[in-house]
Amino acid sequence: MRTIDPLKHHAIRAALRIHEHLAGTNCLSGLIQLPTHEWDHSAKLLQRLELALRRGWRAASDSLLADLEYSLRRLRSECDTCLANLPRSVAANRLAPPGEIVADILALDTDFDGLAIKLEENLLQVQTYPIVLDDTALGRFRIELRWQLIGRERAYEVIAETPNTPENDEEVTHPHVRDRLLCEGEGKAPIRHALAEGRLLDFFTLVRQVLASYNPGSAYVELSRWNGVACKDCGYVMPGDGYGICDRCEDPLCSDCSVGCSRCDRYVCNGCSTSCEACERTLCESCLQSTDSGHLLCPTCLEETLEESDENLCSEEDASSEAAVCPTGAAPAADALRVGEAPLPA
């Protein structure tokens, strides 16, 4: 009795299920997916921008404003793409027969670094080879396709095996991947059509090609900022080879958040600076001194306060001395002789 290779057996069963699903689904909806994810992302950026504006974080506000502008441009572009992909009729698209789907699944095992068929989860999974873009190693990515979602919603995710995320944004694992969702760019229409027609090898190959490419103009985070450093105070991501530091705690600091100490001329962060409670000048904490009453004063104001205290103390001592020499209410002793009077004879 001839035995069937386990991989081929699973591929046949998966292909039959995929073909049945695609045949019973109006895959037109898979080609007309509204960009709800980009809309949600724009809304989040707007909320973060409003927060930064309320707190006076100028550098962070400028950065968020640029991100929001880019997100809105991409939202408009995706709406235009959605409109352009509307078919002229609702006639059924070509659907690959089960035999072609089986051949595609078996070819994935050769073309990719690993293939998994999980029938109980309706899942096809492949793994890419390590991806390096502009000398930045991003590692391997796992592409997971849940075939029962084809034609209904986003049917696949792109997951970093060993995430190398940029500073201050762990949701981005690739310049074109955020929250496991790929920004498909010009590959959006071909990817959608490949899924709708059951051309699985084409689908996975197109996704891999997008992952292996880099377009700075459409990146969630540009590679030039991938290894940047976040400002301690406002979170703005600065280039890794050009940023300031707090002269006290040595934490990264952007130019908008650095505060100059008016006494020692050092530049410090908000956490290492305080205002003098008398003159309100900003100094680093080490240049401020605490009075007996717990007030923080700069050396000049502290000296003036001490001098004023000394003067008040001297005034109190003088008043006390006068009171001791001439007690209150006592009259001076009368002289026996007044001016111009001669002593009486004895």
Q: What is the pLDDT of residue 227?
A: 78
* pLDDT tier at 26, thresholds 50, 70, 90: low
1-to-4, 6, 170 alpha-carbon distances in Å:
10, 15, 53
User: Is 9 or 288 the better-scoring residue by pLDDT?
Assistant: 9
The highest-confidence range among 34-43, 78-87, 332-341, by mean pLDDT, is 34-43
Shared domain for 278 and 147, answered yes or no, is no
User: Is 197 or 315 the better-scoring residue by pLDDT?
Assistant: 197
Q: What's the rounded mean pLDDT across residues 149-164?
A: 90
Q: What is the pLDDT of residues 52-64, one digit of tens each?
A: 888 888 888 888 8
Shared domain for 171 and 24, answered yes or no, is yes
Shared domain for 105 and 215, answered yes or no, is yes
Cα dihedral 221/225/231/236 (nearest 10): -40
**Do you know the residue count of the chain?**
346
Shared domain for 104 and 148, answered yes or no, is yes
* pLDDT tier at 94, thresholds 50, 70, 90: confident
**Residue 151, token pair as written in the block:** 């034609």
Q: What is the pLDDT of residue 144?
A: 97
Q: What is the pLDDT of residue 198?
A: 92
Shared domain for 99 and 216, answered yes or no, is yes
How many whole angstroms separate alpha carbon 20 and alpha carbon 117? 17
Q: What's the rounded mean pLDDT across residues 270-281?
A: 80
User: Is 106 or 317 the better-scoring residue by pLDDT?
Assistant: 106
Tell me which residue range forms the domain holding 123.
6-32+85-225
Residue finishing a domain among 201, 225, 249: 225
**Burial (0-12, 13-18, 19+ Cβ within 10 Å), 252:** buried
Any domain includes 164: yes
Residue finishing a domain among 274, 290, 306: 290
Shared domain for 180 and 250, answered yes or no, is no
Any domain includes 307: no
Residue 322 has pLDDT above 70, yes or no: no
Shared domain for 241 and 213, answered yes or no, is no
User: Is 44 or 324 the better-scoring residue by pLDDT?
Assistant: 44
- Residue 262 sits in a domain whose CATH number is 3.30.40
Any domain includes 178: yes
Of 100-109, 135-144, 219-228, which gets the smallest average pLDDT?
219-228
* pLDDT tier at 70, thresholds 50, 70, 90: confident
Any domain includes 210: yes
Mean pLDDT for all residues in the chain: 81
Residue 9 has pLDDT above 80, yes or no: yes
Q: What is the pLDDT of residues 235-258, one digit of tens each?
A: 677 766 667 888 888 788 887 787
Instruction: Enumerate the β-bridge partners of residue 290.
Output: 296
Torsion sign over Cα 158, 215, 169, 226: positive
Shared domain for 107 and 203, answered yes or no, is yes
Any domain includes 62: no
* pLDDT tier at 179, thresholds 50, 70, 90: very high
Residue finishing a domain among 225, 253, 270: 225
SS3 state at 271: helix
Q: What is the pLDDT of residue 13?
A: 95
Shared domain for 247 and 281, answered yes or no, is yes
Any domain includes 250: yes
Q: What's the rounded mean pLDDT across residues 258-276?
A: 81
Q: What is the pLDDT of residue 306?
A: 73
Shared domain for 110 and 257, answered yes or no, is no
Any domain includes 247: yes
* pLDDT tier at 1, thresholds 50, 70, 90: very low
Q: What is the pLDDT of residues 201-244, one digit of tens each?
A: 999 999 999 999 999 888 888 887 787 777 777 767 776 666 78
Shared domain for 127 and 186, answered yes or no, is yes
Shared domain for 157 and 259, answered yes or no, is no
Any domain includes 338: no
Number of domains in the chain: 2
* pLDDT tier at 126, thresholds 50, 70, 90: very high
